[in-house]
Each structure stands twice: as C-alpha cells, then as structure tokens.
Amino acid sequence: MSSPRECSFAIFDLDGTLINTEAIVDEAVVSIVKTMKKSISEREIFDAAEDCRGQRPLDASTELCEKLSLNEVVNPVELLTKCSEKLQWDGIDIPDMPGAARLLEFLKRKKVPMALATSTSAKELEKKMKSATVNVKSSDESKKKNLLEYFDVICCGDEVARGKPDPEIFHLAMERLGVKREDAGKCLVFEDTPHGVSAAKAAGCCCVAVPSLRREKFDMYKSADRVYHSLMDVELEDFGLPKFEDWREVKTVEFVAEDGDVLSASSRARKYERFLKLDQFLELTGPVIRGFGRGSKMLGIPTANLDVVPLKQQIDKLAPGIYFGFAKLLGENKKTGIHRTVMSIGYNPFFNDKRKSIEPWLLREFEEDFYDETLSVLVVAYVRAECNFTTVENLIERIRKDAKVCEEALDLDLVDGLDEWSDWFDVNR
C-alpha cells in the first residue's frame, strides 16, 4: 500500500469472508455436476467453482456451465435449481471465519458504520443466517450473536441489476450508508474473491482481500490494496480506522523484519514481537502421526504431527498460522508432564504444501520418538500468519524466534485465563 488511507466506513462481503460456506457449496456443486458429466474430475469441478466465487448464484452457474462445457446436459437455471435443492440451508450450522467475530465486534464498539454487500438473494440470506451466530466474549461471559446484528445496512444480490464484478452493489451500500460516490475512498471493503475485489475497486473503494482461493491463485488479487491471510491479520490503522487493542507485546523480544515478511506502515513502526490471546482456548487431541519427514532431518526441529482429518471441524476455527500453547502425552510418556509448544496450523508456504497440517513442536528434548502415542495440545495464542522464506536458514531462524515469543510470554505471565483449564494441566487425571 503506497499511501495512507482515511476510511470511515466498512463494507463486508459475506460468503467466504465472514462465514465459511464455500466448502459446503463446493461439495454440493461437485456432487451434482458429477452425476451429469462423469468424465469431469472432482479437481476440475473444484477449480472451476473457485473461479466462479463472489458472483450472484445465477451468474456463477452460467460461468460454471461455460467453463465445464455443461450446456449440452444442463442449462444454468437447472444447475442452480439442483444445487439449491441439494444445499437447503435450514438446520446447517454455518461456522464464522476465523477473526470475523473479533473484527465485527471491535468495529461496532468503535462506532464504525458497517454495511453487508452480498451476492446472496434476500430470501436465501434469511434462510442461511438463521444459524449463523458467533460467540462474543463480554466481560467474563460468552454469548451468541447473529452476524446480521452488526450491520447498519444490508444489500443483497437481487437488489441490483448487475452482480459482482460490477460495482453496483457497492454503490448501493454506499448510498445506504450516506456516502457520496466521490467519497468512495472512505469505504474499506473486505472481500475474499477476485470478482469481489474487482467490484470494490471499480466502485472507488479501498479493498483488502482475504483470499478463499488456493495460494497459487493469489496473483488474481493484485488490484487489492492489501492481501491478508486471514481476518486475524488485518491492520485497520493502515486505513485510518481504529487500531486493535488486544495484541500483547513481548517487550523482551525485539521485532525485526524477517525475510518473507510483508510489511505495512503499521508493521514498520513495531518495536517488539507480539501475540494475540485466543478468546477461547482450543484443545486438539489425537495420535502422533508421521509427518513430512523434514522437521528433524532438514530443520533440526522435530514436530509431533497430528492427523488433520478427525480434527478438521476444530481447526477450521483457527486461521492458518503460527500458534503457541501447551502439550501433554496421554500414553506411556504421560509422566513427562506438560510442555510448552509452538505449532504451525495450515499450509506451509516454504514447502508449498497442498494439504493442511498440524505440526506442534514440543519445546523440550525427548530421547525417542513417540509415534502413535496420544497427544493433547492446548492452543492458547496466535503469533503470526504463515509466510514464505527464500532460504531454509531464514525459516529456521523464524521458527526459533516463534519459540522465544512463546517462552518469554509465558515466563512473563502475559497469558491469563490458564487457571480456567486447571483440570487439563492436572497430569494425574
């Protein structure tokens, strides 16, 4: 971002930005298309479906039919009808995206006017949002809140003549917020698709992208003012909005820009490393599996990997990134106690991983491996987003720095709330 922006309003896309519906929709599309044209692979369907994201349903269905040459077996209206029948949002528990509740709650508290600009029709939105609630921590209590309660205005795809990437829905959102078109730059749009980013920029708004597409497609987001890996990483102050107040500095660990870091104006002003305590600690338990074989051999950092598949619903609550917490073995090594732990959850950009992984590094030495032993990990804090590095040496240096952040934060008692997990810390249970 070349120059500071002064935004006073926030406009949000919905699917893939605030709520995690993309995987649900993709599965429905794959299932329907495979019954119509068996010669198409699931990978081809997923790729095409990704490219159609961000549009109004009929527009997306039309493009999908063209990309997959489906017009000989089904027309766009029929395909949309079949997919809609398959979905039936009633009763589906739709999770919010990591960081969404924190971002919305903070902007609401700071009295920043907010609009929702979704390609979803008003009727579908009503059905979809019945169960779309977020957990909000107020004082010492957690309560559920419907996402729609945060917005001052709501704009749906069936209220405009042309859908994204046309800017019309953002023009409508600005009109309802009381923003003149010549002041569009005062609006900060949050989007997850290239179509959405194109629409926001065509409307004259500032736009940050939190991509829902795979890393190899990130070039499609070049027109965005900033690209973040998740809503956890958004730096509002770079756009003239209030700065988050919940990051905790570790003043014994100096912040130095690492190879692979993408620095904004606010990042360049940082002096110390920091972490973000999770509102709700997360326990991950499963057998230790053999990973990629690179932790000990290449990095000198042995990790105790957990299987993603049975833990998918839990780790979807976390943004891909680096975390710290604690771990304990529940099998024969139970007597080894509680161990401080740094972990990577996501897709390691340096190794260009195609599948998600959970890679905890227990900060102590073990005399032997403990594959197949049951490991319980308590995730308590987020450190940073995943980033790429040009050399293995720089990657190793960063991982060891993450470990220092963990050690120092815990030594300095910067993480509160651990006493609420006293039962977990009792190794005799």
CATH number of the domain that 357 lies in?
A: 2.40.30.30
3 lies in some domain? no
Q: Which of 15, 22, 96, 386 is catalytic?
A: 15
Based on the fold, state whether residues 230 and 349 are members of the same structural domain. Answer: no
Report the SS3 class of residue 189. strand
Q: Within 10 A of 368 (CB to CB), how many other CB atoms are there?
A: 6
Q: Specify the DSSP class assigned to residue 222.
A: T
- pLDDT at res. 38: 87
- pLDDT tens digit sequence for 378-397: 999 999 998 876 677 888 88
In this structure, the answer to whether residues 151 and 28 fall within a common structural domain is no
Same domain, 126 and 218: yes
- Choosing from 168, 192, 359, 386, which is the catalytic residue? 359
Note whether 353 and 417 are same-domain residues: yes
The yes-or-no answer on residue 47 being catalytic is no
Does residue 232 form part of some domain? yes
| Claim to verify: residue 134 and residue 171 sit in the same structural domain | yes
Q: What is the pLDDT of residues 40-55, one digit of tens each?
A: 888 788 888 878 887 8
| Same domain membership, residue 394 and residue 263 | yes
Query: b or e along 17-52 (b: 16 or more beta carbons within 10 Å of the residue's beta carbon)?
Result: bbbbbbebbbebbbebbeeeeeebeeeebeebbbbb
| Cis amide bond preceding 320, omega within 30 | no
Q: Of 189, 220, 239, which one is at a domain's C-terminal end? A: 239
Report pLDDT digits (tens) over 77-133. 999 999 888 887 777 778 899 999 999 999 999 999 999 999 999 998 988 888 677
Identify whether the C-beta of residue 51 lies closer than 8 Å to the C-beta of residue 67. Answer: yes
Which of these three, 62, 87, 112, is where a domain ends?
A: 87
In sequence order, what are the beta bridge partners of 328?
338, 376
Q: How far, CA to CA in Å, does 97 sit from each of 72, 210, 259, 320, 397?
A: 37, 10, 28, 11, 30
Question: Catalytic one among 13, 22, 192, 233?
Answer: 13
Residue 273 falls inside a structural domain = yes
- pLDDT for 293 beyond 60: no
Q: Flag whether 1 is in a domain.
A: no
| Residue 359 annotated in active site | yes
pLDDT at 184 over 60: yes
Is 413 in the active site?
no
Kind and range of the H or E run holding 175: helix 168-177
Indicate if 215 and 69 belong to the same structural domain. Answer: no
83 and 101 together in one domain:
no
Given a cut of 90, is residue 214 above it in pLDDT?
A: no
| DSSP annotation of 97 | P
The residue range of the domain holding 311 is: 248-425
User: What's this model's pTM, rounded to 2 decimal places?
Assistant: 0.86
Q: Is residue 109 one of the residues assigned to a domain?
A: yes
Nearest one of 119, 117, 144 to 131, comparing CA atoms: 144
What pLDDT digit, counting tens, does each position of 133-175 carry?
Answer: 777 765 556 677 889 999 999 999 999 999 999 999 999 999 9
Categorise residue 417: left if φ over 0, alpha if ψ from -120 to 50, beta otherwise: left
Domain count, the chain: 3
Residue finishing a domain among 38, 70, 87: 87
- Tell me the DSSP string of 340-362: EEEEEEE--TTTT-SS-EEEEEE
In a domain, 4, yes or no: no
Residue indicated by tokens 């006493």 = 419
Does 415 share its domain with 292? yes
